[in-house]
Amino acid sequence: MLSRLAENLFWMGRYVERAENTARLLDVNYHATLEAPKWFPVRWEPLLRITTSQESYFEHFPEVTPYSVPVWLAIHPSNSSSIRGCITAARENARSLRDQLPSEMWESINREYFKLGFANQELINEDGLHSYCITAREASHLFFGIAEGTLPRDEGWLYLQAGRTLERADSVLRMLAEYYQDIPTHASHQVEIQNHHWMAVLKSVSAYEAYRKEYQSRLDPARIAAFLLQSHTFPRSVLHNLQTLKHLLEELADITQHNSREISRKLGWLIAQLDYGVPMASLMSGDTHMLRGMADTLWKISDDMGRLYFLARYA
């Protein structure tokens, strides 16, 4: 496969997954503003840090508000990682692959582009954020569902899934690093605030029901961290996605004959850390350096993949 086509598939998987992850974060915060008691501190700054867009945000907005952050993360034309920006980028990658993709995949991303790619601030003014986020989430489900049912299990499938799993693991790591850095300890309404906080963490990755099925008890921060980091069965856990990514890259190495030993070594180290080395006591005290370091390593793995497989761009 041409490196250009491989890169398009890889980033198409990342962009569609990123749009879905951002939609989940936004929708959870949006509902918190509607459902939480007046004394509950709904915060929007963490979303900027999770999406690593705080610096560019302040180039366009003077302060963080419940209006400007949704505008920035959902539809702002200067934010390439907004929902609108990701769907647009995914559609551009798909457009260059028209002869490589099943027609149903192209039709689904093209249709969702026309639903999501032209939204403006009237969306927020008319209280349409929830519907927009739901549309983005379902667009991702439809796109990957069609890929599951129609795409041959060849190099293209491996690149698409590699992008998806890498993006998902990175998103969960950065979210946990943010939310465990600032565990609420307010004396007033402490139990209620913590319940809202941990429900938001779980719902941001659609894990609330799965967690409740696994642990039929109160929301416990240590168990939530273990579930989202180390579960072998939950499809959005970091460990599950890193193991899947390692298998995908091993298959790619067999097909392409590229030497991916260094990438496999880095992934293996991350997996070993999750299996045996997560310092829960430090995490519960707000020390998230390990999670941030793992997320940074994933970005380095993404760059390594670029140099190894997408030579046209990285040469």
* Whole-number Å distance between alpha carbons of 33 and 53: 22
Q: Find out whether 162 and 252 touch, Cβ atoms under 8 Å.
A: yes
Q: Which residue has the tokens 């952050």?
A: 69
pLDDT, mean of residues 116-130: 88
Q: What is the pLDDT of residues 13-34, one digit of tens each?
A: 999 999 999 999 999 999 888 8
Q: What is the pLDDT of residues 35-69, one digit of tens each?
A: 777 767 778 999 999 999 999 999 999 999 999 99
CB atoms within 10 A of CB 12: 27
* Whole-number Å distance between alpha carbons of 293 and 42: 27
Q: Residue 312's pLDDT is what?
A: 47
Q: Is 99 helix (H, G, I), strand (E, B) or coil?
A: coil
Q: Find out whether 97 and 9 touch, Cβ atoms under 8 Å.
A: yes
CB atoms within 10 A of CB 88: 19
pTM here is 0.94
Give the pLDDT band (50/70/90) at residue 188: low
Angle between helix axes 103-116 and 83-95 (nearest 10 degrees) is 150
The one-letter amino acid code at 260 reads S
Percent of residues in the chain assigned helix, strand, coil, to nearest 5:
70, 0, 30
